[in-house]
């Protein structure tokens, strides 16, 4: 792919604007040598204003989603894209969130521009475990683990039973819930169905991938070995 198109697709500007960036000498190699639009250069050797180029198409980002941000590109309030550089919103192919977390859910949120990968992560068939920690308004009754695991639990206004889910009771009002699907407000609705109410909800892992100390509101691009962890079995603790 021509350098102008490659850089424009990464959201740095229109082709016209990127052509102007070449003319202004802002696009260089790691030694500061000015690059030209027709040069053939490996992605990792391109610098814009001395900064490495964003990752190429096929990228996966992990964010520690803070409370109060919505998983959409545009909203009245704060959206998760506000935490990324503005050019990430206009990349081609588009960078999408891998499923959604509610505005009042925090924790591990993935983004990718790879549609097949996105589908593999969210499809219930792939059985990728999404683990949530919930604090609850009332003590657990004791029968929730068996009900959630049954594979027959129905949520209101749905006509397919939920896939079996694992509930691990940590304290009377704190639990870890492992889901392999992502229905609308699923965790909250499951606890509501057993007469409880979720007070806080955070996603702690997807497959064997954890936030690994990433602070709330921060994000980073994943390396290939980390992407592979999404499809590995969680070790649990
Ligand atoms: N379940 C919910 O209820 N909300 C989320 O954000 C994720 C899972």
pLDDT digits (tens, 9 = 90+) for 142-151: 999 999 999 9
The fraction of the chain above a pLDDT of 70, given in percent, is: 99
Q: Is the distance from the beta carbon of residue 186 to the nearest atom of ligand 1 less than 6 Å?
A: yes
For the chain, give every residue range classified as CATH 3.10.290.10.
3-52
Q: In Å, how far are 14, 121, 231 from 116, measured between CA atoms?
A: 27, 9, 14
For residues 78 and 87, give the distance between their C-alpha atoms in angstroms, rounded to a whole number: 17
Neighbours of 179 (CB within 10 A): 22
The pLDDT of 134-148, averaged and rounded, is 98
CA 204 to centroid of ligand 1, rounded, Å:
12
Closest CA to 121 of 55, 207, 224, 43: 207
Q: What is the pLDDT of residue 233?
A: 85
Ligand 1 pocket test, pick from 108, 128, 129, 132 with the greatest ligand atom count within 8 Å of Cβ, gives 132
- The predicted-structure confidence for 51-90, as pLDDT tens digits, reads as follows 999 999 999 999 999 999 999 988 889 999 999 999 999 9
pLDDT at 132 over 90: yes
Q: What is the pLDDT of residue 236?
A: 57
Provide the token pair at 148. 């959630």
Looking at domain 60-124+214-229, does it have CATH number 1.10.760.10? no
Which CATH fold would you assign to the domain 129-206?
Answer: Alpha-Beta Plaits (3.30.70)
For the chain, give every residue range classified as CATH 3.30.70.1560.
129-206
Tell me the whole-structure pTM to 2 decimals. Answer: 0.94
pLDDT at 204 over 90: yes
Contact criterion met (CB below 8 Å) for 28 and 62: no
Q: In Å, how far are 60, 170, 173, 205 from 42, measured between CA atoms?
A: 20, 50, 53, 34
The pLDDT of 206-230, averaged and rounded, is 97
Q: Is the distance from the beta carbon of residue 101 to the nearest atom of ligand 1 less than 6 Å?
A: yes
Output the average pLDDT for the chain: 96
Q: What is the pLDDT of residue 9?
A: 97
Report the CATH architecture of 3-52.
Answer: Roll (3.10)
């Amino acid at each position: 792919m021509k350098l102008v198109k490659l850089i424009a697709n990464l959201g740095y500007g229109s082709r016209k604007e990127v052509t102007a960036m070449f003319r202004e000498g802002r696009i260089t190699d790691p030694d500061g040598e000015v690059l030209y639009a027709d040069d053939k250069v490996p992605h990792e050797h391109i610098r814009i204003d001395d900064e490495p180029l964003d990752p190429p198409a096929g990228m996966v980002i992990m964010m520690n989603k803070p409370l109060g941000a919505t998983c959409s590109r545009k909203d009245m309030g704060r959206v998760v894209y506000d935490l990324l550089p503005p050019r990430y919103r206009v990349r081609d192919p588009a960078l999408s969130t891998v499923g959604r977390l509610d505005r009042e859910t925090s924790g591990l949120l993935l983004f990718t521009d790879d549609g097949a990968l996105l589908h593999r992560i969210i499809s219930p068939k792939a059985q990728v475990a999404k683990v949530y920690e919930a604090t609850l308004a009332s003590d657990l009754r004791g029968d929730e683990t068996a009900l959630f695991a049954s594979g027959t639990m129905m949520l209101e206004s749905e006509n397919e039973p939920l896939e079996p889910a694992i509930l691990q009771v940590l304290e009377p009002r704190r639990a870890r819930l492992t889901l392999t699907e992502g229905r609308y407000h699923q965790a909250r609705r499951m606890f509501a169905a057993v007469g409880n109410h979720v007070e806080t909800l955070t996603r702690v892992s997807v497959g064997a991938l954890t936030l690994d100390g990433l602070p709330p509101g921060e994000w980073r691009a994943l390396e290939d070995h980390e992407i592979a962890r999404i499809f590995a079995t969680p070790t649990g603790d």
